[in-house]
Amino acid sequence: MPNNMKILHVFDHSLPLHSGYTFRSKNILQVQREEGWDPVAVTSPKHEENWSKPTEQVEKIEGIRFHRSGPVGRSMRPIHEWKIMSRLYARLCEVIKTQRPEVLHAHSPVLNGIPAIRAGRRFNLPVVYEIRAFWEDAASNHGSYRQGSLPYRATAAAETWACRRATHVAVLCEGLRRDLIDRGIDQSKITPVPNAADLDTFRDRAPAHDLAREWGIEGKTVAGFIGSFYDYEGLDLLVDAFAEAATRNPELVLLLVGGGRMADSIRQQIISLDIEDKVVMPGRIPHDQVPGVYKLLDLAVFPRHSMRLTELVTPLKPMEAMAMRTPCLASDVGGHRELLEHGRTGFLFEAGNRRALTDALLDLSARSADLEPICNEAHDWVVQERNWKAINSRYEQIYSSVTGG
């Protein structure tokens, strides 16, 4: 494969917005530049919907060119989705004419995949469609519509349509791959390309003692979560389990770093359980502070509820904690089981089982000093298997296959 291959990536949104989606995108673009390729990016109008400030037509962020599509006016579904896809298709055609890419690489949702497939046909370019989560499941879990409803089934059909017509399909994990095979997609055109940790950011460093002092958790046994407060993350279960654990271990505190639509209900739950003095919620923090905060934790907890999204999709956050040698306790949903081997690289508890989570919090916090071998094993697995250079080799194989290189 030529070193200067130009890949045109199509994203839902990007930096400067911060999310697991944007960080994966950033890492893909950075490693491809380091490999001598020439990645360029186009973002959907949804970027402007999430970023309230004006954007330029082309923005350069951390050395990567992002071609913006511009906003579209709000409309009722499905007119709004049609307007997003139409604007994105027009922008893709403009960028393809000036940038002359060799591959189109569209990243979920399918609102990006369909315009990319249309543009690929027009310009005779191979299209890689990457699914990070099924749009219908993400929309269902965000409350846009119910699982099994007509909009849900229509969105699932659109995903299947795009997968059949893409030159190749990349998926985040084995759960998504199995689901596509069940839909009748040829397994030879599906390649898992899992998440990886940004090892330049998540590397051994000192704990953030200044934040520990500010938050009043110095000298305490700290269980914590860092991330977005979505309902599927299971923070309600964690708070319930922690309330019971704190009555049996008065030195135990809970640190919840981040924000999102569940933040207010979590605060109300904490008040109703009368544990305000045991739980710290500092809000969102700059991304470069996250590694130091992981080093403050005696236990990183990922209590996701069991549902289609969490059973099929692997999260990024546990790998970041593993890279920092922080012990991980996670629910046994399918996405976590792909990352953690119980008793070897982390610990699993039965999803939704408050008693099991309470017992695990107490057990692991009491023997945190004995967990170093497991933390080292988890760290080494991430460094060897889930680094971005190793992951990018999978993209290299995909691009070579679709271009005949």
Report domain extents, the chain: 6-196+387-403, 209-385
Is the pLDDT at 281 greater than 90? The verdict is yes
CA 301 centroid distance within chain = 16
Per-residue pLDDT, averaged over 44-71, amounts to 90
Beta bridge partners of 7: 39, 103
Query: Same CATH fold, 209-385 and 6-196+387-403?
Result: yes
CA distance 228 to 218: 24
- Which run of H or of E encompasses 68? strand 64-68
pLDDT number for residue 74? 82
pLDDT in tens, 222-279: 999 999 999 999 999 999 999 999 999 999 999 999 999 999 999 999 999 999 999 9
**Do residues 294 and 326 make contact, with C-beta atoms less than 8 angstroms apart?**
yes
Convert 188-222 to b/e letters by CB count within 10 Å (16 or more is b): ebbbebbbbbbbebbeeeeebeebbeebebeebbb
Residue 241: alpha-carbon gap to chain centroid: 25
- The strand pairing partners of 129, in sequence order, are 106, 169
CATH architecture of 6-196+387-403: 3-Layer(aba) Sandwich (3.40)
Tokens encoding 4: 């200067």
Percentage with pLDDT > 70 across the chain: 98
pLDDT grade, residue 50 (50/70/90)? confident
**Model confidence at 18, in pLDDT bands (50, 70, 90)?**
confident
What band does 369 get if pLDDT is binned at 50, 70 and 90? confident
Q: Does the reported pTM lie above 0.85?
A: yes
Residue from 19, 53, 23 nearest 258 by CA: 19
Question: What CATH number belongs to 209-385?
Answer: 3.40.50.2000
- Where residue 141 falls among pLDDT bands split at 50, 70, 90? low
Residue 76: predicted pLDDT: 84
**What totals of helices (H) and strands (E) does the chain contain, helices first?**
17, 14
